[in-house]
Amino acid sequence: MIVTYTVPNKEALADISVRAFLRQNCGFSQGLWRRLKWNGTLLVNDVPVKATIAIASPGDTITCQIPEQSSLAATPMKLDIRYEDEYMLVVNKPPGILVHPTGGDHTNTLGNGILHYYKITGQNLDFHPVHRLDRNTTGLVLIAKLPQLQNVLTQQSKGKFFHRSYLAVIPGELQESSGTIKLPIARHPDSIIQRICADDGQPAITHYRTLSRNNGKSLLCLQLATGRTHQIRVHLSSLGHPILGDDLYGGDTALISRQALHAFHLEADNPLNGEHISIYSVLPQDIVRAFYR
């Protein structure tokens, strides 16, 4: 990976260390900086410099050559790509597939498929997901092509650069047609997978709005203000309305065999070039059928 930056003409950036400039202005995480320092090449105005002592001034060009270090295998996979540019990729994920390896599955994840896509399209890139979806949650996944962009979007996913919205089908109706669920989420004491609402958990906020009702079921639109594991699933279950098909949290599987949860809208602002994207994905047919039965 080769990236180039020009130091803006600002008084505050006069004779700044390259490390400080990259960390404060270019989204470099500590881990990415270490990869550059120990395994990469750093140039200022096309001249190789030592990373630990390099200084830059306004107008200088900084070039970072950083080797990729993916441990994933590239696996052929049919991908539903909804958006792509030189910085970002948005893929519509089907049910039954992990975003990246956990446990024993290391070859059939979305990450494996995307690495194969990069390979056949001549893109020397690693897999940098900005967020995750559960194995049986469908919908839009944002992937950064640069690790520093992944770092910025991940750190700022509380609302500055990145927004995502979901559709879910639940039994019955929530007491209010719209509102906000503010219930902390923690690990279940007897499970490494399951989560619960608990006073000592991490803050979790979900906004919801009822879109439609049919035959004793409600279709909800939900927006995450935080990104806790299983957040929507846990919040709705805690209110007594577990998502249809979500057997982990008490959902009825008679109408659908997986949780009726779909990431249908994704918005992101690219802090590296200022561009805004807004992508939609239609509700899958298994969720539509479950709602109208």
Are 7 and 21 in contact, with CB atoms under 8 Å apart?
A: yes
Q: Which one, of 206, 280, 223, 42, lies nearest residue 33 by Cα?
A: 42
Q: Which of 15, 80, 134, 252 is catalytic?
A: 134
Burial class (CB in 10 A: 0-12, 13-18, 19+), 27: buried
3-state secondary structure of 65: strand
Distance CA 16, CA 58 (A): 9
Q: Which one, of 212, 191, 222, 207, lies nearest residue 288 by Cα?
A: 212
Distance CA 152, CA 144 (A): 10
Distance CA 9, CA 55 (A): 15
Distance CA 21, CA 218 (A): 50
Distance CA 244, CA 233 (A): 10
| Residues facing residue 162 across a β-bridge | 268
Are 276 and 268 in contact, with CB atoms under 8 Å apart?
A: yes
134 given a catalytic annotation: yes
Are 93 and 139 in contact, with CB atoms under 8 Å apart?
A: yes
- Strands 16-17, 261-269: pairing kind: unpaired
Are 42 and 51 in contact, with CB atoms under 8 Å apart?
A: yes
Are 32 and 151 in contact, with CB atoms under 8 Å apart?
A: yes
Residues serving a catalytic function are 134
